[in-house]
A = this chain, B = another copy of it.
Amino acid sequence: MAGIKEVAARAGVSVATVSRVLNDSPQVSEQARAKVSAAVEALRYRPNAVARSLRTEATHTLGLIVGDIVNPFFAVLARAVEDEARRAGYTVVIGNADERPERQDHYVRTLLEQRVDGLLICPTAEVTPLIRDCAAAGGPLVFLDRTLPGLDVPSVRVDGTAAIGELIRHLHGLGHRRIAFISGPEPLSTGRERTRAYADAMRATGLRIREEYLEAGDFQAESGRAIAGRFLDLPEPPEVIFAGDNLMTLGALDEIRARGLRIPDDVALASFDDVGWFVHVDPPITAIAQPAEELGRRAVRALLERAEGRPVEPVVLPARLVKRRSCGETGRTQR
């Protein structure tokens, strides 16, 4: 493929001039500019970003490591990140950790070697040594959706505490008392936070927290199914199953349907994390909606500020309860 040298030769100027034209520096005559443009066109020259990056120490690329791109929440997040990044002139490399720390580390390593200008991570579980190093090295790094304890890294996330409180009160108002929660993995900040919010809200509402009504899944559909099954097998099964993310909700729904139970009469269902099709389930599923797009955009902005050396403080966005019919009638339903 033609390089800048060939272009220079064809245009009858030096490589320096070609480079100046390409980066439209003002320090170049109209004449030269025209000749170079013609040569570029004729040779179908495409600048080599690899060489450019080597010289300039900037790749105009951001890395994004998500838990699972097939999870609609992360898909929406990824699109928002990618959109905002493109607007700022950056390309995004997406890594799929599949919620596995070793895979997450694989991508961290690869992306660092690629010299991305910034890294957005939805951390999977543990603080790996590699992550600790990165945090210590102080490169542009921002945690997205989740945080890790004890590291000096800014994070952009959603706080669902208030919405969970509202949900529990809503359920209580509908007459439900036995509310079970399929929580997320203990090591994940989002898992811990939601569990805590559930427990606090139950207490605040004067409801008993039963050990057998609280079990941790792994944010994947299958665990939701299994745990819902165990809840339903209890001598005194819960009146409500509240699942900690949309995939576990899907799993729970599968299990409830497989047993031929009716929602909400036999058991009610609620989800942390809303997805488009919840309104089409019969009955539509009550859920806590997270502002995923906003989250993605804010994360990119925070990252870019960080990359420019400006200090950035954590961003915390609120979630919103969307009442539908899967927990019982409440007059009008929201979409």
Residues of chain A whose beta carbon lies under 8 Å from any beta carbon of chain B: 44, 46-51, 53-54, 59, 61, 68-70, 72, 75-76, 78-79, 82-83, 86, 91-96, 106, 109-110, 112-115, 133, 137, 221, 250, 253-254, 257, 276-277, 279-282
Which chain B residues border A51 with CB–CB below 8 Å? 54
Q: A253-B280, A276-B250, A280-B250 are in contact. Are A50 and B46 (CB under 8 A)?
A: no
Interface centre among A59, A70, A72 (most CB of B within 10 A): A70
Name the CB-closest residue of B to A91: B110
Q: In the complex, what's the smallest C-beta–C-beta distance from A321 to chain B, in angstroms? A: 21
Q: Is the CB of A92 within 8 A of B91?
A: no
Q: How many monomers of this protein are in the complex? A: 2
3 cross-chain pairs, A with B, having the tightest CB-CB distances, nearest first: A282-B282, A49-B113, A277-B277
- Complex Cα distance, B87 from A106, in Å, reads 12
CB distance from A81 to the nearest CB of B (A): 10
Cβ distance A18 to chain B, nearest Cβ, rounded Å: 15
When distances are taken between beta carbons in the complex, the residues of chain B under 8 Å from A276 are: 221, 250
Tell whether, in the assembled complex, residue A72 and residue B69 are in contact, meaning their CB atoms are under 8 Å apart.
no
- Chain B residues whose CB sits within 8 angstroms of the CB of A137 once the complex forms: 44
Are A96 and B115 also in contact (CB < 8 A) when A250-B280, A281-B282 are? Answer: no
Choose one: B86, B96, B114, B254; the contact of A79 (CB below 8 Å): B96
